[in-house]
Structure 1
């Protein structure tokens, strides 16, 4: 179903609003024309737009179940429950319906707010101190896990962070409810969210956070981290065929096409959707190159993408040329083989939970930003039980083309 603003124009269509303050409904009817809506994100069935000081999440569905009990209504009801229990969430103003479309209107919490995972990666990529952020996150999670919140999709992408306020709040309240007082085990399950920081947080630090936030001992915490890694791996494998198609088609979340040296290259993106390959930097010789037969080079690139999806820190394949040339960022300065074997062993255990095998610990490098990073993943790729998933058929680099600006 099309999520085109012209199909549900707030200024021309008759919307029936529930709980939305009349003055807000009036603002939408008077000024929220399609050309005034700024799309924040969109899928085939829903989209989020910003209009002045509001976010409007619009969904479209012909399904009877959605018509009888729309997601917008459920999210608004969840927000009301959270408010009664003093659980922080962005302010929900009301929801409405117009034909097969529904909309949820929320207030902008803070102009500098970003999702917590994006902010985390912005610190990591800039090699900035993460101590304050982790301390503030611990305080927020302490409130959350000790509350009666039941969240079926609890991850850092559903938490907003405001650097100005130095505070967090919940967003996207689908699959959210309020239940009874949580048990210690339920708190531990909620804190699996900490495993999303695994690429740059030492395992021991993660265990310490479990204890500081909810008094969860190392054994229980380690068990929950392992379960999180297994679940992430299962989901990644399930989604992999679709992810490969998206990656090879230049889906903006994962990849891009860039022209360099009279060819169009397939470029991998980082977690902030920034290209890992810069043509001007390549012209200055700032990348290490390796040329392979195209299918072998493609396998290397897709495996690097696979590791990125699992948040395994490594020197990634930045770009692939049609002639099979791979571009790698040069190793950061001041990298050495790590001396802390316990740290390495903990990371290797993470890898095993994700079905990855690394026999030579000397492939790990300890970088100046206190991060572990895999210098070479070739032996890990060779040990994969099913390498065919990294060898898609029919990939023709002659069809690659740059996006129109």
Structure 2
């Protein structure tokens, strides 16, 4: 057993402040880690005697927060980030479907999976719910890359038997590949990985495939359901045209058994109160993706509506429609979206949504997201003086005020180190030294 202590300012928000949760903040804190798990999280003065003799990594002037949880991101779209023009459906046809067709090549998938995982770590993201492609090999490539880094990722083969000619499967083929992947990657000794049944969205699967997705979900109590919902007006109109007898978009998924406590729906920008109430009753969660919604002109997510109905919410980068891997920068955009909605997103609540909130949406609250004793030691070391402007802005500021400045002005430069299961997998200073 190896123990290491980290001394810095500590900040965690285990419970949602919108429901009375209180931040755990320690201006001079001590985080103690043993064999990849948190042993203690608190004031240095209160813990120093108890852990006397434990080696201490002095990170004075830094802030340690839980590793960021990206609740919705597309790894195969990494190379198409910042692709100009179009709204959702035409953007998919023009930019995304041709790119995703390349992932039948395992070597290509391996290359992008490695780049993607390293980019997450460089931005302080230690866990993510990830879209792959229709290809079985795309999931293998991602899981191999995550396994090598001991990252906690959840992903699955995309189901889309109504996809374009270069990017589609069949009901039987999709079922067989999904079952094979679940069997291959959910066994003991396969790292910190999870599986998600992944119909792309209602338009790209036949009724038979959507029903089959529901059957797979019901047959495997440990897997998630991950898809898109009510993102864009054009998409919503097309869904309404195909499923004319459905009450709304959510009802399409509901009739196939895809709305439940293990369901994560990305976007949910244009939702009726009926649909939100149904999501809350089912225990389903939302991945709020502000940079993507702004980039594609999809609309402004109504966090207050989700709150009124008690729907769980996490934060998603949604790269490549999303414009950054940085969860900090994504939180800055979430603040602006709330402002345009006439609301204010508190920085401590924003941190919750990006850590413990995302963990809750993914059903992982007992393992990650808050740096509570017994949880896995995934954490990020943030540097409030990473840029000259940030150094001026945060000098003498409170932890909450500093956090807000980091969300509005920060990006990957703020992330000094990223730890996964107690191991430092990214160190900004070492990267800079290697580049000299």
Q: TM-score, normalised by structure 2?
A: 0.24
Q: Which has the larger radius of gyration?
A: 1
Structure of higher RCO (CA pairs closer than 8 Å, 6+ residues apart): 2
